[in-house]
Each structure stands twice: as structure tokens, then as C-alpha cells.
Amino acid sequence: MSTPLVVVQCTASDLLSSGYQRKQGGGLDGEDAASYAVGALRDAGLGPVVLAAPDVAENHETIPALARRWGVESFLGAELDTVRRLVEAAAAAGADTIARVVMASFYVDPRIVRGQLAQLDAADAEYCTLPRDFNINFGADVVRAAALQRVPEMIDRLPRALHATARYRPWPFLELDAEHFAVTTFGDLPPVSAEHVAWIREQLNWPERAGPGFEGGEYEALAADYVRAGDVVLDAGCGHGQITSILARHAAAVVGVDYDASMIAFARERFPELEFEAADLQRWSRPGRFDVIFHTHTLEHCRDAVGTLTNLRASLKPGGRLVVEVPLELRPGIINPHHEREYTVAMLTEELQRAGFAIREQRGVCRGIYGPAQTAREAFMAVCTAAAGGDA
């Protein structure tokens, strides 16, 4: 087995010291490599580790300084073309195989990555992933550099609207394009104990992707599909406002609401031309105001999910649409400490029905790409209207 290059895809806003991260006490030390994917992979000795970050101003000093402190390499490359950045990082290191992870996956399991590398060789494959019902962030995207070099050819076969997304996030396209890429799945997974899952959930300040470098490109497709030019739209659980800004390009008006007043302040700073409000969606409503409500990766944070959905239904105009997306329940268990629950399709369906909604359309989410429900890897999306006899 050739020595791989372990690539930690990152940017300065991933860091726990970043203004984009929630400032919550308890858990990870933002200066420690072990608080990110870097530490475990460096210490496992799988191969040289490089922090591969976008070549933008905020990374010019931060990323090389971190790499020196943590005893790894750094590489600054294309900002939103991840494929090009990884190919160039591999070429600079003289590596023909890449094990790619994201900075935030501090719980990555080197045993799984090692197994994926072995599986790639044993199967004489070009890309190795994990089973669809297992959390991909415990492992890596293990890929031949030569396969990544062919991704531009794959992109040419895709609809133009997906080109930028595929350059930024090629993994679902590789996984689903078995006709042109030799794909294998590592299924001999080591056990992950309940105690370890519980420890992960204790890290309340774990890093999440939220700032520059997370452009939410997949939501451009959703906005184009479900927002009409004259629509008034609610982004219910807007966070830092990135998705709100995308919706605003398609709608007549958009309002972003989030319970976290500090997030709303940051959203207003980033997008001063947009309307934001700090409120608890479990109690907040604006009866009959909105044509479309986007409620993406927020319901899992709400203690009263059915009450939240009921309030959202009240805020819809007659015939209005709710677009709701939730994380799927995966092995080895819920790890995000901020999630009250994660979902099976049956669970979400039941909650929507109790809140007075009927599902009109559903899609699966595979690494941020929307497709048929059966391709879902990490999330599930449903488009709903008020059921017959509902108030909206």
C-alpha cells in the first residue's frame, strides 16, 4: 500500500476561536490539535498530514502557523474548487492517494481510515466510502489523485447548475457514478462504544461549518426549485444568514428568524440589507404571512418539534409550502450535542402529520446533493402543505 497524503480540508472559520463558532464553555480546547481531525490522524501515522485551505486572506497567516504548531504541513489553494486544491496538494507532496477529512471531525477514527486505505488497494478501486447508514465523518474520503484529475470530465457530463457544487464537493458524484469510477465501500467497521459516543456529545463547543468556505451552494438549487419571484419567504432557523441571503436572490422578500440573538446580530452585520428577527420558533408565528418556509437542519434542535411545526403551519398563506430538512439517524448514534433527536423517515412523517401537514414531495440528501429518497446518506428533505382541514 502506497503512503497516502492525509488532507484536512479547512479554513480559518473552522477554528473554535473563530467568530463564526458558538462560544459555549466546556469541551474542546481550541488550540489543541486533538480538538480537530488533525490530532488523531497525525498521531496515527497513516501518512503525512497537510492542512489544505483556501488561498484567501484570513488563511494566509492562520493556517501555516497552525500547521507549524501542530507539526504538520499546510497548503493554500483554490478557494471553492476543492478538487483542484486537493490534486495540487497531492502533487506537491508526491502522493497518489488522498485520505480527505474535514477539520471539524475531531472524532475521526484512524482505524476506519486505515481500513478504507486497505480496501482501496484490495479492491483495486479509485474511491472508497463507508456504508450509507454510517456517519461518514468517522472515516475519510479515500481517493486516488488520478481519479480526482478526471473529475472535470465528470463535471462536463452534469447539468450546468451542478458544476460549481461538484467542484466544491465531488464526493457524492464520485459515489454515484460507478459507470466512470471504480467505487468500493469499507464495511468491516470496528465497534464504536456508547461511552465514546457519549464523550463526543459532551463537547459542547465542537466546531461546525458555518463561516466563509461554507457557501450553501446546494440551497441555490432548492431556492430555484421552490421559490417563485413574487414569494415572501421565511428562513426558520437562519443562523448566520447564509441561506437567507441565497433565498433573497429568488424571492420578493425574505425574513430570517433564529432563537440565538448573537447569531442574529452577526447575520445583520453580514447582510444588513436583509430582515432578521431573534425569536423562539417553538412559540413564534406570523399568521398567514409566508408563501414558503424553509426549515433546514433546525427541527432537530427544537425540544417541541410538533409545536414548532404547528407554529410554522400557522405562518403559511393558504396553499403555502414548508420545505423541511432533517439529519438522518445514523450509526453509531447521535453525536451532535446540540441535537435533541435525529430522524428516520417514519419519525419525520409522523411529526408532520401531527402538526397538520401532508408531504407532497421528498428527496434524499447524499453529501449535500439532492436526489431520490433512496439515495439519502445524511439527511432527508420533505416539501409539505397543510393537510385537508388545516388552518393554512
226 & 189 share domain: no
Q: Quick one: CA dihedral 358, 360, 366, 368, positive or negative?
A: negative
Q: For residue 289, is it within any domain?
A: yes
193 & 229 share domain: no
61 & 141 share domain: yes
52 & 175 share domain: yes
144 & 34 share domain: yes
Mean of the per-residue pLDDT values for the chain?
A: 92
Range of the domain at 288: 218-386
**75 against 387, higher pLDDT:** 75
What residues contact 278, with CB distance under 8 A and at least 6 apart? Answer: 257, 258, 259, 260, 261, 264
Distance CA 235, CA 368 (A): 18
Domain end point (choices 201, 236, 271): 201
343 & 236 share domain: yes
Q: For residue 125, is it within any domain?
A: yes
67 & 149 share domain: yes
Q: For residue 206, is it within any domain?
A: no
The DSSP output letter for 191 is P
Q: DSSP string covering 317-367, please?
A: EEEEEEEEEEEBP-BT----TT-S--B-HHHHHHHHHHTTEEEEEEEEEET
User: What pLDDT digit, counting tens, does each position of 237-265 carry?
Assistant: 998 898 999 999 999 999 999 998 988 99
Q: Residue 274 sits in a domain of what CATH number?
A: 3.40.50.150
Long-range residue pairs from 365-368, CB within 8 A, at least 24 positions apart, any chain:
365/218, 365/325, 366/132, 366/172, 366/175, 366/176, 367/136, 367/169, 367/171, 367/172, 367/175, 368/165, 368/169, 368/172, 368/218
226 & 342 share domain: yes
User: What pLDDT digit, counting tens, does each position of 265-299 carry?
Assistant: 989 999 999 999 999 998 899 999 999 999 999 99
Domain end point (choices 201, 232, 256): 201
Q: For residue 240, is it within any domain?
A: yes
Number of domains in the chain: 2
284 & 344 share domain: yes
Distance CA 276, CA 350 (A): 30
User: What pLDDT digit, counting tens, does each position of 137-174 carry?
Assistant: 999 999 999 999 999 999 999 888 788 889 989 999 99
Q: For residue 109, is it within any domain?
A: yes
Q: Residue 69 sits in a domain of what CATH number?
A: 3.90.550.10
304 & 185 share domain: no
Judge if pTM exceeds 0.75: yes
